[in-house]
Amino acid sequence: MKLEKVLVVHKKSTYQIQAQEHKEARFLKLIEAGSDVVRRVRLAHEEHMETLELVEGELKRLGIEYQSLWRSQVPGIVEDVDLMISVGGDGTFLDASHALRNVPILGVNSSCSSSFGHFCQANKDNFQDCLEAIIDERVKPIDILRLELSIDGIVIQELALNEVLVAHSSPAATSRYFLNVGALTEEHRSSGIWVSTPAGSTGSMRSAGGSVSPIASRNFEYLVREPYTRPGEFFHLKNGLVSDGAEIRVTSQMRTGEVYIDGPHIIYPLSLGEELVIKASKFNLKAFIREDVNDIFDGPLAQTTKTCSGEM
């Protein structure tokens, strides 16, 4: 793969934000006291900065033109680079993915002591090998399914790589909606609905009782959280797989419903009577990641703790 231009997208560490930039008094006091609440943040910051320096140094060594931006600085859809490299953890990888349509991405776990880095194939120990393998085309990106959302026919720009949560704006309130999957439509009361891609099936979907799918699967899954049924009532649409080409429809019965995309930061209102449509996007994410990356969560290896290794 010919690499002429690379965009490096990196996070700001917790220590950088709270101690160095905002100088938050309580945070600094906890650091000084050696509190367990914050004891790892300085180490995580040092690891992150060391990894970012290594990534940028390796690109310089190879003569590859690059730009380095905080993830909040990424300007819309990125098209004019050959590769995006996210430096951080899974949150940074997810945020970076929203700016991509056709550009491939490599995730670099910048702090193995604090970040699981499920999507991050590289770390400071193996980054050079990973980058050389990409250039030599010994590894190729795989296509990962993402979800396209629209509300009353208006398409949302962000594509969901991990999951979508549809719920009331208050976690203590009942989520009320009509759910349509295939030929069935039901009126529900619950704590909300998870809709997960195969990439996100190891996260909230798995924790809520859903299934873990291979990351290259073309199906996505929905699961109703804490469905409330009256005596004698039964919901058919509680959990299931939806094939690529099909769609899920949610019509809100909530005045203040909300749609959360890949975590708590991207939120769209879903007001009374509005219809949310969720389907597979035509824009897969092209990512340098192993096809068996989800296997650790399923079968005999499900209880194994992932560690940063030097293997690609």
Residues labelled catalytic: 90
Residue 252 to residue 258: CA distance in whole angstroms: 9
Q: HSE (CB half, 13 Å, CA atoms) of 262?
A: 21
Residue 273 to residue 193: CA distance in whole angstroms: 17
Q: Which of 205, 198, 176, 225 is nearest to 293 (CA)?
A: 198
3-state secondary structure of 222: strand
Q: Which two tokens stand for residue 173?
A: 């309130």
Q: Which two tokens stand for residue 180?
A: 């349509």
Buried b / exposed e over 2-11, threshold 16 CB at 10 Å, is ebeebbbbbb
Return the percent helix, strand and coil in the chain, to nearest 5.
20, 35, 45
CA pseudo-torsion sign 296, 300, 305, 309 = negative
